[in-house]
Amino acid sequence: MNAIISASELASDLAGPNPPVLLDVRWQLSVAKAAGEPPFDGRAEYAAGHIPGAVYVDLDRELAGPAGTGGRHPLPELAEFGAAMRRAGVSAGTPVVVYDGGQGWAAARAWWLLRWTGHPDVRVLDGGLPSWQGPLQSSVPGPATAEGDFEPVPAAAGLLDADAAAALARAGVLLDARAGERYRGEVEPIDRVGGHIPGARSAPTTDNVGPDGRFLPAEELNARFKALGAGDDTEVGVYCGSGVSGAHEVLALAVAGIPAALYVGSWSEWSSDPERPVAVGPDPQ
């Protein structure tokens, strides 16, 4: 099953006999900005216009737990995540399509969580809402007419903690999905210290998409990741700042046909522990 879907394919599926459940996960990373600039409000963006039938999902509240020692976006409590998905109408036997405002990070976080907890049919709208050419709906729908039945069951594989990420950086391939300057430690706008996990390789997630925000062709992505050492028989993991853009890189790897695990705590967890080593510069080590 492909992990992404085009806008034209989505329009066709919505008009078909088994339409997918649509989740709108518009979100932006909250970084200190100029005084007086209001924070991004995904729910307000959703209310102003969304794909008809879509249900809003709050990344910070429903796809992550409270920030703390586990990072800025640790895993949500599974019971709370499952309840949120059921309220949105998600069932195990119904396909799900997730979209965001175009960056793809938030949609990928929802995709990864649903796939990791056992949903068999989840795709991300390639290019997000800007790729949608159909009408938008501004009215906010009430609760789903029938609550879904999805019960999250975590997979044994696909998730890394800090120790497993450190080991994978030595024994396999650990990709750092953040911007190159953050990987090198030249700037760090959010976390305690800049740099990267020793042994990790810089692989900015922005290089997985074209100027229109859509993923590069699968063969190009495959070539990119193989050049970074992610071959057919290599164990691959990904981290970022807090497990959001890293999910987008895991999605890109899936498009390329390469399975990968996600270190959800990512740099926000790793760098908060002064006992953990930090590498700087372009060299992985």
55 Cβ neighbours under 8 A, 6+ residues apart: 21, 22, 23, 24, 88, 89, 141, 144
User: How many angstroms separate the CA atoms of 208 and 216, rounded?
Assistant: 6
Per the residue annotation, which of 240, 244, 261, 262 is the catalytic one?
240
Q: Quick check: is 284 catalytic?
A: no
Give DSSP secondary structure letters for the chain: --SEE-HHHHHHHHTSSSPPEEEE---------STTPPPP-HHHHHHH-B-TT-EE--HHHHSS---BTTBSSPPPPHHHHHHHHHHTT--TTS-EEEE-SSS-HHHHHHHHHHHHTT-S-EEEETT-GGG--S--B-SPP-S-SS---------SSSEE-HHHHHHHHHHSEEEE-S-HHHHTTS--SSSSS--B-TT-EE--GGGGB-TTSPBPPHHHHHHHHHHTT--TT--EEEE-SSSSHHHHHHHHHHHTT---EEESSHHHHHTT-TTS--B-SSS--
Which amino acids are annotated catalytic?
240
